[in-house]
Structure 1
Amino acid sequence: MAVHLIVGAGMVGSTTARQLAERGEQVRIVSRSGRGPAHPQVQRVAADATDAARLGELADGVAAIYNCLNPAYHRWLTDWPPMAAALLTAAERSGAPLVIAGCLYGYGEVAGPMTEENPLAATHPKLRMRADMWRAALAAQRAGRIRAVTEVRGSDYLQAQSILSFVMGKPLLAGRRAFVPGPLDVPHTWTSINDMAAMLVTAATDERAWNRAWHVPSAPPLTVRELATRFTRAVGAPAPRLATIPGPIFRAAGLLSPMMRELQTTAYQFARPFVMDSTAATATFGRHPQPIDEALRETAALLGGVPGRTSGTPETQPVTA
C-alpha cells in the first residue's frame, strides 16, 4: 500500500493524518520535531521542510504529498519560499501529486462572496506570497515538471489559530468579557479543521480535483457576535460579553506581539463581509461541512473548557513546520 506523505504536524496535518489512518491508509508525517498523532498507521519523522533532498527521499513512491505547513505569520516572507521550493522539488522527483493546504489571503480585499474563480489580487507582500506559491506550483504542473497539483482553501479555522480559539474562547468559557480586534457584526465564513482535512484527502485521491483550487465546504457565515453566541450555547457557557479593542490599543499591541501585528495585516477580513462560496466542492464531491455546534464543542475541548472528543491531542497542537 502506498504511503501518504504529510509535511507539517500542526492541527491540519495531524487531523489529515488521522483521517487517512482511520480509513486504513499508511501515513508518513514530517515535522522539525518529529511530532504527530500516535497511531499504528502513522510514521512520525523529524526532518527540515526546507531540505529538498531529504523530502525527496521521504516522498519516493508515495501516493501524494500534502503541504500542511504553517510558518509563524511574522516569518512568512523568510520561511515560506524555501519550504515551497523544497516541496515542489519533492513532487517533481517523486511524481506524486502535490496537495496544498491553502487559505483565502491570496484574493486580497474582495467585494461579494469569494469563489475559486476570483482573481488572486492581493497586493500586501505576505498575502501575495500565498498567491505566488500557487501560481508557481500550477506553472510547474503545466510545464510538465510535476504530475498534478491542487490547493484546498479554507477560511479562519474554528478549532485553532482563529479569533475564536486565540482571542475569545477562554474568556467566554470562563464567563469573562472577550475583547475582539475587529467589528462584531460583519458576516464571516468559518472553517472546521476536520472539513479542511477531509477536503485535502479528497483532493489527493480524486483526480477530478487536480490542477485547480477548491474551497472547503464550510458552515454558513456568522458574525463574530453570532459565533460567540453559538459557541457559548453549544458548550453551556454563560451568554457572551464582547467588546471591540479600540484601534489605538490594537495598533499599540502590535508593537509588542507579532501575532497581534499580523492580525492588523488581515483586519480587512473583518471590516466588511468575508464570505467564501464552497458550492463547487459540494456539487462535485458531495462534501458537506461538519455541524458547526459539533466543531464548536471540539474547540472548547481543545481549550480545556469542556469534556468531549477533540480533533487532536496535546502532541498535535500547532507547530511551525
Structure 2
Amino acid sequence: MNLTSNLTRPRGNTVLVMGARGRFGKAAVHAFAAAGWHVIAQARSAQDELHLPQVVTLQCDALDTARILAAVPEVDVIVNAVNPDYARWDSLLPPATAAVITLAKATGALLMVPGNVYNFGAGLPAVLHEDAPFVANTPKAAQRIAMEQSMADAAAEGVRSVVIRAGDFIGGTGTWLDMAITKSVNKGVVTHMGPNDLAHAWAYLPDLAKVFVRVAEQRSQLAAFEVMHYPGITATGQQVHAALEELSGRTLKAKAMPWLMMQGIALFSPLLKAVMQMRYLWQRPHQLTGRKLENLIGKLPASSLHEALRAYVK
C-alpha cells in the first residue's frame, strides 16, 4: 500500500529503505520483509513491484527529509540504497548522504550503507582488510571516502552507522554483468573485461541483502561507526566464463572489452567517461576478507557463482 499519512508504528522492527527501486534497494526490501521486518520503501517513482506483505511505499524525493520524517517519525534502521547517476556523483552524492544522516539523527535509527572497493584507489591491494588504507587517486575514490568520513563524523552527533563493503553487484540490471560481460551471451559470446586470470570481488545481491538484515538484528553490538567487509564471491574472468558455459550448455567465445573504442566515445559521454575511470578494477586482482563480519553474525550467506549467474543465461 502507499504511505499517504503518518505511519502508525507497528510492533517489531521497522526499516526504511531509501532508494527502494534500485538494484540493492529492491533486494533489501525483499530480504527485510522475508525476515519479518516492517518495511517502508522510499522511491521517487511508483513502486508496484514492491507491493509485498509488510511493505508500505513512500513516493517522494530522497532529499525531502521533512516529508519523510512527517510520514515516518519512528524507525529502527535506515538502509541507504540511493544510487545517484554515476556521472553526477560529485553533485548528487553529498546531498543524498547529508539527507540520510539527517534522517538517522532525527529518528535515532542505525544508518546502513553498502560500500564498495573504490575507496582503495587505482592501486588497490590484492587482499582488502577493513584497515587497508584509502587512496583518493580517482574521482570515485575521493567521493566515497568523503561519504564515509561524513558518516564517521556524524557519530559525534549521536548518529550510529555501519558501512558494509562489498564487490561489484551480481543481480538486477545496469551492472557490469548485464551491460557488458553477458550482453551477448545468448549469441554465444562472453565479454572479458581484462586479463581473465585476475581475481575480482563480486556480491550477489540476495546474499548481501541478507547480510544487512543479520547485521541490523545485531545492531546493539555495533560501535557508533563501523566498517565491515563482505567477501561475497571471488572469481576470475575465466571462472565466470566457465560458469556461463556450464549454465548455457555450450561453448562460448571470448571477446575483449573494446576499451580503446570506449575511450573515444567517452569524450562525448560523461557517463562513459565515469565508467572508463573504473577500468583499473579489471586490471588489479582484489578480494575482500570478512572475518569481522563473520564474528558478528556467524556463517555468511554464500551462494555459488553458478547460482548467482543463472539469471543471466536465458
Q: How many residue pairs were aligned? A: 296
Q: Indicate the SS of the match to 2:127.
A: coil
Work out the CA distance in 2 between the residues paired with 1:79 and 1:202: 29
Work out the CA distance in 1 between the residues paired with 2:68 and 2:132: 32
User: Sequence identity, in percent?
Assistant: 26
Query: Any stretches of 5+ residues in structure 2 without a counterpart?
Result: 1-10
TM-score by length of 2: 0.87
Structure 1 pair 116/92, CA: closer, same or farther in 2 (3 Å)? same
Work out the CA distance in 1 between the residues paired with 2:259 and 2:144: 27
1:193 correspondence with 2:179: no
Counterpart for residue 113 of structure 1:
127
1:140 correspondence with 2:154: yes
Structure 1 pair 17/118, CA: closer, same or farther in 2 (3 Å)? same
Deviations 1:197-227 (A, max 9, x none): 11222222212344211112412x2211221
Work out the CA distance in 2 between the residues paired with 1:70 and 1:199: 19
Which has the bigger relative contact order, CA under 8 A and spacing at least 6? Answer: 1
Counterpart for residue 244 of structure 2:
231
Structure 1 pair 117/58, CA: closer, same or farther in 2 (3 Å)? farther
Structure 1 pair 39/117, CA: closer, same or farther in 2 (3 Å)? same
- Following superposition, the deviation at residue 91 of structure 1 comes to 0.7
- Following superposition, the deviation at residue 257 of structure 1 comes to 4.5
Q: Indicate the SS of the match to 2:183.
A: helix
Letter matched to residue 137 of structure 2: T
Letter matched to residue 55 of structure 2: V
- Following superposition, the deviation at residue 31 of structure 1 comes to 0.7
**Contact 1:181–1:250 (Cα < 8 Å) also in 2:** no
Work out the CA distance in 2 between the residues paired with 1:57 and 1:290: 39
- Following superposition, the deviation at residue 280 of structure 1 comes to 2.4
Matches within 5 A, 1:45-60: 45-60=58-73
CA root-mean-square deviation: 1.9
Matches within 5 A, 1:77-116: 77-108=90-121, 109-116=123-130
Structure 1 pair 259/224, CA: closer, same or farther in 2 (3 Å)? farther
Counterpart for residue 272 of structure 1:
284
Query: Any stretches of 5+ residues in structure 1 without a counterpart?
Result: 307-321
Letter matched to residue 136 of structure 2: A
- Following superposition, the deviation at residue 243 of structure 1 comes to 2.0
Letter matched to residue 12 of structure 1: F
Deviations 1:150-181 (A, max 9, x none): 01111011224432222121311331x34444
- Following superposition, the deviation at residue 30 of structure 1 comes to 0.3
Q: Which moved further from structure 2: 224-233 or 75-84? A: 224-233
Matches within 5 A, 1:11-22: 11-22=23-34
Work out the CA distance in 2 between the residues paired with 1:151 and 1:267: 24
Work out the CA distance in 1 between the residues paired with 2:269 and 2:292: 38
Find 1:6's aligned residue among 14, 17, 24: 17
Q: Which moved further from structure 2: 255-264 or 59-68? A: 255-264
1:172 correspondence with 2:185: yes
Work out the CA distance in 2 between the residues paired with 1:251 and 1:289: 36
Deviations 1:17-76 (A, max 9, x none): 111111221100101103252202111111111122223334421011110111121011
1:34 correspondence with 2:46: yes
Work out the CA distance in 1 between the residues paired with 2:167 and 2:154: 26
**Contact 1:230–1:293 (Cα < 8 Å) also in 2:** yes
Deviations 1:85-112 (A, max 9, x none): 1111111111111111221111213223
Instruction: List structure 1 segments (4+ residues) > 6 angstroms apart after TM superposition.
Output: none
Work out the CA distance in 2 between the residues paired with 1:63 and 1:77: 29
Counterpart for residue 125 of structure 1:
139
TM-score by length of 1: 0.85
1:290 correspondence with 2:300: no
